[in-house]
A and B are shown apart, each in its own frame.
Chain A
């Protein structure tokens, strides 16, 4: 079994690390993924968003060669995920949605086995394990049985393990589901560090919309289809409005101003007005003209969750 160092562009002429074209997956008569296509740039972070059951895991499992497709093509680093399985398997690192640690073995044994599966020489395994554990702050747990660790620690060990063979692409399926906010923040910090230091391509799925903000590109998936695909900034600009909640001493003047700028002003139960605008400058003009009467103001940017809401008419957690 050969082992190649993870490339960061020089190994292939293509700028796309992942190319998916017309991918469809059916389970009997149920279509889990319906004819989707997308590309992931080399060295970028790509987020796959959508509610549970949208088809994200099916797509990731097929890309990772452990699930067969109904039709379409999938290339990872120029290699076909079905016909060149072994080449693809060597090139990727995967952290699945549920833990895949060997719970009865220690953290170190887990990593050693992994290195062995990927054909790393013993000396390389011995040298890399401390470095990988250091990366996720798990050095002192080296000898602990994996089953004795907390959920967040397990996830960190899995990330360390998936990086041991220096993959070109790291797949993360819901890496932070079920973890507390502090651990989630830690894990994202590690991942961003990795992406910067190693110029690694990261493909992640999540149903926490705010977590996708770090991605260079995001695809929003619903009922097996990709319904939007661009950078988070563009998506938000295109599909969301900036929202200002204004408590005013002169409601009538505010309503008049809103109609002047052709903005919708809705009076909430508390008496404050909610004004939405796709164009930030209109909103700023209105606020500036009305500033004498404003007693309280809150301005909120559109989020990716708003994008999802706008596109599907429902909340992502719904």
Chain B
């Protein structure tokens, strides 16, 4: 655990030392809120501010988690990852250290949006809700950080990662019901949205922060917090398990990639660039 804590602390320190990143992460939520409040005025949902904010938080958790994964690529490119990999540290500890630090940053950003939301008039009836929301943010952050880490260690190259992350982010964020309500999507895309883990993360997160976890199924369906797949209804509770399973899968996958990491391939491409060594 000491290694995980040390890696976590290092990554959080590095994040705090990067001023530009820090400022952008504070500013971005305001931009999202402005943009999305316009879109959702046309959609028929009750309590739009709450609905909107919960959606934004889940999107921001997703994007921040994916962005922070670039720090792992930095470590691979700078060579530092080799120092970590040649040490007797367990590969899952390395993965956890990276994931926990990016979760921390993502959850902090989510928290910042909720604070903004509070000024905009968002309220909870139960005192337990904010605690549950924070726990859910950490949970969702862990899941998407695992995905980010898996992508980062598979790609191992900053330029390629940008493109890959864009290719993943665009469909995932547009087909999850946050930017565009699912009911407005054509049927084919609605089906695609049901294959998107982000849809479940957003639904679960919304149900939780709107305090609607225990609503009857038909009301959940009407509010787009549950989905009907054939005759089966995916409630927010089931959504939560789907998201958790998804996160566990990618934690294991990225650990596996670390375990068999053959970093000699990276040296090779680096060495060929260095004309001064010829």
Q: Say yes or no for B271: interface residue by CB 8 A criterion.
A: yes
CA distance A101 to B10 in the complex (A): 13
Contact assessment for B84 and A117 in the assembled complex, using a CB-CB cutoff below 8 Å: yes
The yes or no answer to A227 lying at the interface (CB within 8 A) is no
The answer to whether B79 and A89 have CB atoms under 8 Å apart is no
Is there an interface contact between B88 and A96, defined as CB atoms closer than 8 Å? Answer: no
Which of A67, A97, A102 is most buried by chain B, counting CB atoms within 10 A of its CB?
A102
Please report the C-alpha to C-alpha distance between residue A65 and residue B262 in the assembled complex, in whole angstroms.
10
**Distance to closest chain A CB from B140 (angstroms):** 28
Tell me the residues in window 103-123 of chain A with beta carbons closer than 8 Å to chain B beta carbons: 103-105, 109, 113-114, 116-119
Known: A67-B262, A97-B267, A116-B6. Is A1-B88 also a contact (CB below 8 A)?
yes
A246 CB–B CB distance under 8 Å = no
**Cβ contact within 8 Å between B88 and A86:** yes
Instruction: Identify the closest chain A residue to B14 (Cβ).
Output: A104
- Tell me if A102 and B2 are in contact (CB < 8 A): no
Q: Does A277 contact B (CB under 8 A)?
A: no
B5's nearest neighbour on chain A, judged by CB, is: A116
CB-defined contacts of B14 to chain A, threshold 8 Å: 104-105
Question: B74 → chain A, closest Cβ, in Å?
Answer: 9
Asked if A118 and B277 make an inter-chain contact with CB atoms under 8 angstroms apart, the answer reads no
Q: What is the total of A-B residue contacts with beta carbons within 8 Å?
A: 82
Let me know if A90 and B86 touch, CB within 8 A: no
Q: Contacts of B170 on A, CB cut-off 8 Å?
A: none
- CB of B187 within 8 A of chain A? no
- Which of A61, A67, A99, A117 is within 8 Å of B87, CB to CB? A117
Chain B 4-41, CB-CB to A under 8 Å as 1, else 0, gives: 00100010011001000000000000000000000000
Which residue from chain B places its CB closest to the CB of A52 in the assembled complex?
B277
B82 touches A96 (CB 8 A): yes
- Is B264 a contact of A114 with CB atoms below 8 Å? no
Q: Are B86 and A64 in contact (CB under 8 A)?
A: yes
> A94-B86, A116-B6 known; A58 and B264 CB under 8 Å?
yes
| A16 adjacent to chain B (CB < 8 Å) | no
Contact B267 A104 (CB under 8 A): no
Contact A66 B264 (CB under 8 A): yes
Q: A52-B271, A97-B267, A178-B277 are in contact. Are A116 and B88 (CB under 8 A)?
A: no
When distances are taken between beta carbons in the complex, the residues of chain A under 8 Å from B88 are 1, 86, 89-90, 117-119
Any B CB within 8 A of the CB of A140: no
Q: B118 within 8 Å of A by Cβ?
A: no
Cα distance A61–B265 in the bound complex, in angstroms:
11
In the complex, per-residue mask of B241-278: 1 if CB is within 8 Å of any chain A CB, else 0: 00000000000000000001111100100110000111
Distance in Å from the Cβ of B127 to the closest Cβ of chain A? 39
Q: Which residues of B contact A102 (CB under 8 A)?
A: 10, 75, 78, 80, 83
Do the beta carbons of B78 and A103 come within 8 Å of each other? Answer: yes
Query: Would you call A14 an interface residue if the criterion is a C-beta within 8 Å of the partner chain's C-beta atoms?
Result: no
Interface residues of A in 81-96 (CB under 8 A from B): 86, 89-90, 92, 94, 96
Whole-angstrom CA separation of A113 from B3 in the bound complex: 8
Is B85 an interface position by the 8 A CB rule?
yes
13 sampled A-B residue pairs with Cβ under 8 A: A52-B278, A65-B86, A89-B88, A99-B78, A100-B78, A100-B80, A100-B82, A100-B83, A101-B83, A103-B78, A104-B17, A113-B10, A114-B87
Report which A residues bind B (CB closer than 8 A).
1, 52, 57-58, 61, 64-68, 86, 89-90, 92, 94, 96-105, 109, 113-114, 116-119, 161, 177-178
